[in-house]
Amino acid sequence: MTQGSSRETFGSRLGFVLAAAGAAVGLGNIWGFPTQAASNGGGAFLFVYLVLIFVVAFPMLVVEMAIGRSGQANPVDSMRSLTNHPLGKKVGAFVGWVGLSVPSAVLAFYSIVGGWIICFLFAAITDLLGLTNISSWLKGFSVERNLLGTLIFYLLTILIVRSGVKQGIEKWSTRLMPALFVLFAVLFVYIMMQQGAMDGLKHYLVPDFEKVWDRKLILAAMGQGFFSLTIGGCSMLIYGSYLSKKENLPKMAMSVTLVDTSVAFIAGLVVMPAMFVAMHNGVQIYAQDGSLLSSDTLVFTVLPLMFDSLGLLGQLFAVVFFLLLTIAALTSSISMLECPVALVSERFNTPRGSTSWVLGGLIALFSVVIVYNFASLFGLVAMAATQYLQPTAALMFCLFGGWVWSRHAKFKELQHGYPEFAGSWFAKIWPWYVKFVCPLLVTTVIWASFT
């Protein structure tokens, strides 16, 4: 079922790159990446991460986007269209369904974190207004607060997705992503003017090459790279399906990779010096053994403490910082909700608006269940989605794209918008790389999460 003619596409290259990069840029970049870097030797982690992004994640991103653009449909129908074999079609549909489960499962816990961030943004504003009671409630951890934040986050996500590709996703991505870079730049300049920031910058930018071969560091960097570019998360497949055939696909994938990696890199430039500023102001960050004390709550404990210690300007910058995190979280959540919405509205010809409300509402219900059973469910859902489901889907996409999708069909797809593809060095390396090297590396990540 191909819907080439009636299907919406992105209106511009910039729109596509910013939307796809927005899908990839999320809390993984701004919260996860600096935390991982701080836990794994700063500069050494950054060096390994940059190598692995281009060696592992980029070739797989090209596969996922190519499958989407070739199928011009939702993940299930795009996977089915890669082969004419009846059994192959069934397996393809199954792989598509596994892939689709990833954004839905991730959104269920991600929106709760998005809700915390919105609450912290409101708290930063009420702090400025001197409403300390409301502020402390918003910063406190309660079922009511978590519920409020989560529902506001879903509301914003659904409102953007229901407006469609051009009027919703593209329009908001081209506004939110530049805003993200501007806010980062302002925050970076401000933090670098504080005592202790230079030490943090050195720790982040100067690699200790002895640590580069550490197995734990390499696996952490590889896992972070996957999640950062949402490999196996279906978002890139669905955005690829909205990409015009006139575009050079490897070039587009490289642009997305560069924007996404830049955001992670810049997030490190802001957060690592901020941690050292906080340490300079007496906030304890590292334990005796050199491990991070609160890696999971770095963004919610260390940075607000630093902002508090810097007076009124610090409070203003707390608003900027949590606004920035809200933007990053939203650009990702809209791509997660888009995956099931595209499937249902294409399969059953339902209007996008009501489909967005119904599916968003159903996933929101699951999130509400998690909020009410936070201790037992949150960590479990997060681990199942990111450590097992997503790498498994990535492996399946890779194997299907590498082995089942014929070489001739792959080449034909990449020659759209890139006529000289067949003669390029990329064409010589990429097909066998996706067949052999990528599945091996993804299997290593899955194996590492079990050991």
Please report the DSSP string for 353-367 in residue order. Answer: HHHHHHHHHHHHHHH
Which pLDDT does position 370 carry in this prediction?
A: 96
What is the token pair recorded at 78?
């795009």
Q: pLDDT (tens digit, 9 = 90+) per residue, 423-438?
A: 899 999 999 999 999 9
Q: pLDDT (tens digit, 9 = 90+) per residue, 282-337?
A: 777 776 666 666 555 666 776 777 777 777 888 888 888 888 888 888 888 988 99
pTM: 0.85
Q: Helix, strand, or coil here: 281?
A: coil
DSSP secondary structure code for residue 422 in this structure:
G
Cβ atoms < 10 Å from Cβ of 196: 18
Residues 180, 328: contact at Cβ < 8 Å? yes
Which pLDDT does position 203 carry in this prediction?
A: 86
Q: pLDDT (tens digit, 9 = 90+) per residue, 394-405?
A: 999 999 999 999
Q: What's the CA gap between 23 and 330, in Å, rounded?
A: 9
Q: How much is the average pLDDT of 239-263? A: 90
Q: What's the CA gap between 276 and 283, in Å, rounded?
A: 9
Q: What are phi and psi of 10, to 5 degrees?
A: -70, 145
Cβ atoms < 10 Å from Cβ of 289: 5
Q: What's the CA gap between 231 and 146, in Å, rounded?
A: 29
352-361 burial, b for 16+ CB within 10 Å, e for fewer?
A: beebbbebbe
Confidence of residue 2 (pLDDT cuts 50, 70, 90): very low
